[in-house]
Amino acid sequence: MYITDDIIYAGVNDHQVDLFEGQYQVPNGMAYNSYVIKDEKIAVMDTVDGKFTHEWLDNVEKALAGRKPDYLVVQHMEPDHSANIQNFMKAYPEAVIVANAKTFCMVGNFFRSMDLESRTLEVKNGDSLSLGKHVLNFVFAPMVHWPEVMVTYDSTDKVLFSADGFGKFGALDVEEDWDDEARRYYIGIVGKYGAQVQNLLKAASALDIQTICPLHGPVLKENLGHYLEKYHTWSSYGVEDDGVVIAYTSVYGNTKKAAETLAAKLTEKGCPRVVLCDLARMDMSKAVENAFRYGKLVLATTTYNADIFPFMREFIDHLTERGFKKRTVGLMENGSWAPMAAKIMKGMLEGSKDITWLNTTVKITSSLSEDNLKEIDTMAEELCREYIARSDEKANKHDMTALFKIGYGLYVVTSNDGTRDNGLIVNTVSQLTDNPFRVAVNINKANYSHHVIKKTGILNVNCLSVEAPFEVFQNFGFQSGRNVDKFESWETCRSDNGLVFLPKYINAFMSLKVEQYVDLDTHGMFICTVTEARVMSDKETMTYTYYQKNVKPKPETDGKKGFVCKICGYIYEGDTLPDDYICPLCKHGAADFEPIG
């Protein structure tokens, strides 16, 4: 199979494997990919699992079509890719292994009898190797998924050989959706190393990539943005889909009944997706994958031997091992004489960051009571609050407690110029009166939104919660709605005034109608009445301080001289900053810059 005119697939499918890496069920088998790049010199990219020596060597020989390989590039030493290094070097004694120092150390440990004298080429991060027309550029990717891992970019054909990255479970001769098995693979195998994957994505963003050749799963050529976005969500521990996962264990069926009752209540209240996981019976890696996929998780188990039921303990261990965070979690416990499961489960997640605990915990003693049914209803209400608030039919559209979410916060103000939706970040919103409810919003006249709101007289104020990632600020704060469609990649919800409100990352929004305008020279103040107000969640409002401390990436100022933008981190290198300087990223002025150091 040709990937490009010069790159040929030489991998194999494995339908014999019972448990991949000794633990993961792979009902559709596994693919171990390898590639041959043919040029003046020939490079073979990685080997395959030890069970497929001859099949793979046959594939390589066929791809070579009578020629001899010059290099074996070893990107990853886990045996599913490296097991045939020695066999390859026996078949092609003139070939040279291209790898980094850590890889060569592992090669020595795995193949103790192999003599590599004069048959190695050690590369460093950023090195390149010319094959003639093709130039291979090596980028180290430690801990994606072992410390020696490197990926390789062929700048001629714009192909990224991504090692385990972008891989999935499943052989290539079975048709199946990429997302589910790639997610289960990612969360299970690389999930712990989100920060390292983020680093790799950052390095990859500087490259023009047209094809991704991973070591497992299909070669990716179309719609690469989809895969990159999934990897960004997974590696930043973001919520991929709305919904609630109920993970439970049950000895005699009573806890199961509680879990199923909650599932029914959630569905009745409009929860977009409810996933029930019987931890004793289902594939544990699927339950773990779901916990990372959705935003909310309920753990339901019994007290057992003064601890919790073993499958639940194992499940939570899998979560914490992989850095579970940024989720809403609720607890249901069952115990016939001294229930303590809720306390133990909560304790196990103590080290997990940014967990929002539900106010309601369901405490069952043996079987469901009337009080338990009420608790389950309250829990379902809490879990669905933001989903209900988003619903045009079910939302309370006059919940003026929404105004309590106004603080010295950060807001996305949305508007529409008649052709498209727009949004910008502001930090100047305040409540003026409560009878009638009046709110003031200050907007810089230089912003396109000021012009639009002055013309249309309506706006929505979206109160950002602490969940909002930096991308929200980049999207709404660092570019103009006159030039770009800021909602191009967003699913949108609309309030009664027809404007969009953000479906996530907010704890409330208000629809405002402009009653008065006050000219404040550089800014305009819109004094408005409130026409609609919804509360989405109890999450904390994003304040300017929180943004500075926890959301804005730390600018890389080491070794640099000049000024750094306090808003977006842009670095201006130079001895003096012109007074009229405008940050090219976020458009804030010189007053928002501070000297480096």
Contacting residues toward ligand FEO, per CB under 6 A: 76, 78, 80-81, 145, 164, 215-216
Buried b (16+ CB within 10 A) or exposed e, 425-444: bbeebeeeeeeebbbbbbbb
Strand runs labelled E in 141-234: 150-154, 159-161, 211-213
Give the nearest distance from C-beta 78 to ligand FEO in angstroms. 4
Strand runs labelled E in 384-451: 411-416, 421-426, 429-434, 437-444
Give the nearest distance from C-beta 53 to ligand FEO in angstroms. 17
Give the residue with the Cβ less far from ligand FEO, 80 or 375. Answer: 80
Give the nearest distance from C-beta 77 to ligand FEO in angstroms. 9
d(C-alpha 85, C-alpha 327), whole Å? 43
Give the residue with the Cβ less far from ligand FEO, 19 or 65. Answer: 19
Q: Is 415 exposed, middle or buried (0-12, 13-18, 19+ CB in 10 A)?
A: buried
Give the residue with the Cβ less far from ligand FEO, 46 or 386. Answer: 46
Q: Tell me the two tokens of residue 452.
A: 């639009």
Give the nearest distance from C-beta 216 to ligand FEO in angstroms. 6
- Confirm if 174 and 164 have CB atoms less than 8 A apart: no
Nearest to 13 by CA among 66, 64, 45, 51: 51
Give the residue with the Cβ less far from ligand FEO, 70 or 78. Answer: 78
Give the residue with the Cβ less far from ligand FEO, 147 or 555. Answer: 147
Give the nearest distance from C-beta 67 to ligand FEO in angstroms. 28
How many CA atoms lie less than 13 Å away from 432 in the CB half-sphere? 17
Structure-token match 């092609």, residue found? 92
**Which whole-number Å values give the CA distances from 482 to 421, 447, 452, 479, in the listed order?**
10, 9, 10, 9
What is the chain's alpha carbon radius of gyration, rounded to the nearest angstrom?
28
d(C-alpha 438, C-alpha 440), whole Å? 7
Give the nearest distance from C-beta 150 to ligand FEO in angstroms. 13
d(C-alpha 72, C-alpha 506), whole Å? 51
d(C-alpha 188, C-alpha 285), whole Å? 6
Give the residue with the Cβ less far from ligand FEO, 31 or 159. Answer: 31
Give the nearest distance from C-beta 229 to ligand FEO in angstroms. 22
Give the nearest distance from C-beta 28 to ligand FEO in angstroms. 16
Q: Is 291 exposed, middle or buried (0-12, 13-18, 19+ CB in 10 A)?
A: buried
- Confirm if 164 and 190 have CB atoms less than 8 A apart: yes
Give the residue with the Cβ less far from ligand FEO, 134 or 145. Answer: 145
Give the residue with the Cβ less far from ligand FEO, 204 or 215. Answer: 215
Give the residue with the Cβ less far from ligand FEO, 80 or 467. Answer: 80
Q: Phi and psi (nearest 5°) for 365?
A: -110, 100
Alpha helices (runs of H) in 220-283, residue ranges in sequence order:
224-235, 254-268
Give the nearest distance from C-beta 484 to ligand FEO in angstroms. 39
β-pairing verdict for 30-32 and 12-14: antiparallel
Give the residue with the Cβ less far from ligand FEO, 145 or 486. Answer: 145
- Confirm if 461 and 510 have CB atoms less than 8 A apart: yes
Give the nearest distance from C-beta 192 to ligand FEO in angstroms. 12
Give the nearest distance from C-beta 72 to ligand FEO in angstroms. 17
Q: Which residue is nearest to ligand FEO (CB)?
A: 78
Give the nearest distance from C-beta 139 to ligand FEO in angstroms. 17
Give the residue with the Cβ less far from ligand FEO, 214 or 481. Answer: 214
d(C-alpha 218, C-alpha 173), whole Å? 10
Other beta carbons within 10 angstroms of residue 23's beta carbon come to: 10
Give the nearest distance from C-beta 97 to ligand FEO in angstroms. 18
d(C-alpha 73, C-alpha 57), whole Å? 15
Spell out the residues 6+ positions from residue 308 whose beta carbon is closer than 8 angstroms to its own. Answer: 301, 302, 341, 344, 345
Give the residue with the Cβ less far from ligand FEO, 6 or 78. Answer: 78
Give the residue with the Cβ less far from ligand FEO, 10 or 308. Answer: 10
